[in-house]
Amino acid sequence: MTAAISYMFLTLLTMVMFDLRDIHTLPVTSVINISVDIFGMITGCVIFMTCLIDVAKTRVNYKVYMYLLNVVFLGLFTDAGAWLMDGIPSLRPLNIIDNTLYYLCTPIAAAFFYLFITTQLKLGEKTLYTMRKILRAGLVITVVVILFNIPFGYLFTVGEDGVYRREAFSHICNIYGYATMVAAMILINRERKQLEKYKIVTLTIYALLPIAVSLFTTAVYGLSIGYAVTMCIMLLMYCIINVSQGRAQAANERDMQVASAIQNGMMPRIFPPFPDRKEFDIYAYMDPAKEVGGDYYDFFFTDEDHIVLVIADVSGKGVPAALFMMITKALIKNRMQGGDSPAEALYKINNQLLNGTSDHGMFVTVWMAKLEISSGKGVSVNAGHEHPAICRKNGEFELVEYSHSPAVCVIEDMEFEEREFCLDKGDMLFVYTDGVPEAMNKKRQMFDTDRMLKALNKGKTGTPKDCIEHVKEAIAEYVGDAEQFDDTTMLCFKMM
């Protein structure tokens, strides 16, 4: 924001100075130059403010582009200042400094443009490492040459009368700019297959048009519109970047919607899921922090009298976590329907995942149980997951706390510990991911398990859906407008 205020201040300062200077005493070319510079500075202000808004909204990386914009803006300001101070003897020292800065802007802008191509547009490697070293050394030499002009005056001088004069070697500093633009053109041509045509055209215009304008103003002394032209190209470049990012964002959003639909389709969404089974009631809910998440729940029969309940939480978020989740879900269902116990299934799945994904550092916490419907007897495994909560008939929800096994995909050949439990008629089991107790309000305070149990107990005499709805409402009220940082997933089972 400080930079934006500086932009506006320098633009207004230039306009005030132009207004104070008697326009009738200035040559026509000076009036044209200053007017064009002011127009370019106003354009720069608009682009800079728009970039700041884009960065705040989308977190897009405009770093190198904005560096280039700053240099071009400074070139416009110093050019306008040089023409406004020209012919005023008392401002001679300031005029020399101003013109020195103006000369310095040309090679620095060229260097940032080359950097913009190699980084911001990600054209590959292969960014001509040797060329970059040569250009960096050339920039240092050019800057030194320009600074040494102050005592020796071989590029330009400002006489005692305050009048700027171009000297015989004034175009030496343009050599670096020309060489850099040629290097940029080589890079654009070499990587053209990786670029859309409109990007190639825009970058080519940026590289060639300033050179053409520079050659033209060299022949027509007194006309300096190079930076104004460059600012217009910066505006075009910004529009092109936005078009490109807009297309990429639209494609990404479409892919995320498809991934979300696939993920939702993989989890049971119709309740009651088994309307012909009156021995139990079940309900589940998931709210991903992003379009797709790493949490999941599942329930399925292995035979007529045994149901498997699963809830899991993959480390990380977004598409990678969702992919890892879908793999884990498929492996668990395959193993459990194949006759494995929960501990046996997780042992085999753990080794499978470690062999295929150990390099990615992802893991998954899992709570899984296999329950015999006729007797209510079950066996569960808790691999690094949250403590389940149980509500006995006519009682209240309480956490069942015990030591856990490590998460899946952490330690090879891990033996997971099984625990037996029993649910009688009227008992309810509630399992959840850490997104429930760790939901945070704007003060960064967690919802915690105490509030979760309090909300659950409001629905203890109702259905599993009632319990989950009470927890959802309590979380929404506690969190308010705070951003959701983690997936929120819950599953509730009741013996009837």
Specify whether 188 is located in the same domain as 324: no
Flag whether 73 is in a domain.
yes
Specify whether 317 is located in the same domain as 187: no
Flag whether 54 is in a domain.
yes
Contact of 45 with 76, CB cutoff 8 Å: no
pLDDT at 198 over 90: no
Contact of 312 with 385, CB cutoff 8 Å: yes
Handedness of CA 212, 218, 219, 220 (dihedral sign): positive
Could you tell me the residue range of the domain that residue 147 belongs to?
2-254
Q: Please report which confidence band the pLDDT of residue 495 belongs to, taking 50, 70 and 90 as the band edges.
A: very high
Flag whether 261 is in a domain.
no
pLDDT at 14 over 70: yes
Residue 120 backbone class (left: φ over 0; alpha: ψ -120 to 50; beta: rest) = alpha
Flag whether 262 is in a domain.
no
Flag whether 259 is in a domain.
no
Q: Which of 254, 286, 308 marks a domain boundary?
A: 254
pLDDT per residue as tens digits for the range 391-416: 999 899 999 998 889 999 888 899 99
pLDDT per residue as tens digits for the range 63-103: 787 888 888 889 889 988 888 888 889 899 999 999 899 89
Q: Distance between CA 211 and CA 420 in Å, rounded?
A: 80
Neighbouring CB atoms inside 10 A of 58's CB total 11
Pairing of strands 428-432, 164-166: unpaired
Contact of 284 with 491, CB cutoff 8 Å: yes
Specify whether 199 is located in the same domain as 276: no
Residue 190, domain CATH: 1.20.1070
**Who's near 323: CB < 8 A, 6+ residues apart?**
none
- What's the number of domains the chain is made of? 2
pLDDT at 18 over 60: yes
Q: What is the CA radius of gyration of the chain?
A: 34
Flag whether 227 is in a domain.
yes
pLDDT at 377 over 90: yes
Specify whether 278 is located in the same domain as 229: no
Residue 175 backbone class (left: φ over 0; alpha: ψ -120 to 50; beta: rest) = alpha
- Residue 198, phi then psi, degrees to nearest 5: -65, -30
Residue 323, domain CATH: 3.60.40.10
Q: Which amino acid is at 413?
A: D
Least confident segment among 6-15, 154-163, 324-333? 6-15
Q: Which of 254, 286, 314 marks a domain boundary?
A: 254
Helices (H), ranges, 153-303: 174-190, 197-219, 226-266
Map residue 278 onto helix, strand or coil: coil
Flag whether 263 is in a domain.
no
pLDDT per residue as tens digits for the range 243-280: 665 555 555 555 556 656 666 667 888 889 999 999 99
* Nearest by Cα to 3 from 66, 56, 54: 66
Handedness of CA 36, 38, 39, 43 (dihedral sign): positive
Segments of 332-386 assigned E as strands:
364-372, 377-383
Specify whether 245 is located in the same domain as 293: no
Specify whether 24 is located in the same domain as 164: yes
The percent of residues above 70 in pLDDT, for the chain, comes to 84
Half-sphere exposure of 220 (CA within 13 A, CB side): 12
Contact of 94 with 82, CB cutoff 8 Å: no
Flag whether 198 is in a domain.
yes
Specify whether 93 is located in the same domain as 151: yes
pLDDT at 483 over 80: no
The dihedral formed by the CA atoms of 241, 244, 250 and 256, expressed in degrees to the nearest 10:
-90
pLDDT per residue as tens digits for the range 462-478: 999 999 999 999 999 99
Long-range contacts of 328-331 (CB under 8 A, 24+ apart): 328/296, 328/353, 328/364, 328/366, 328/408, 329/266, 329/296, 329/298
Specify whether 351 is located in the same domain as 432: yes
Specify whether 304 is located in the same domain as 245: no
Neighbouring CB atoms inside 10 A of 206's CB total 22
For 449-464, give the secondary structure using H, E and C.
HHHHHHHHHHCCCCCH
Contact of 104 with 160, CB cutoff 8 Å: no
pLDDT at 169 over 60: yes
> Exposure pattern of 475-491 as b/e (b: 16+ CB <10 Å)?
beebbeeeeeebbbbbb
Q: Which of 223, 254, 285 marks a domain boundary?
A: 254
Specify whether 131 is located in the same domain as 218: yes
Handedness of CA 319, 320, 326, 329 (dihedral sign): negative
Specify whether 280 is located in the same domain as 248: no
* Mean per-residue pLDDT, 358-381: 89
Q: Please report which confidence band the pLDDT of residue 195 belongs to, taking 50, 70 and 90 as the band edges.
A: low
* Mean per-residue pLDDT, 140-169: 89
Surface-to-core class of residue 367, CB atoms within 10 Å of its CB (0-12 exposed, 13-18 middle, 19+ buried): buried
Report pLDDT for 264.
65
Q: Distance between CA 72 and CA 149 in Å, rounded?
A: 22
Segments of 97-184 assigned E as strands:
156-158, 164-166
Specify whether 55 is located in the same domain as 148: yes
* Nearest by Cα to 467 from 459, 476, 475: 459
Q: Distance between CA 485 and CA 489 in Å, rounded?
A: 13
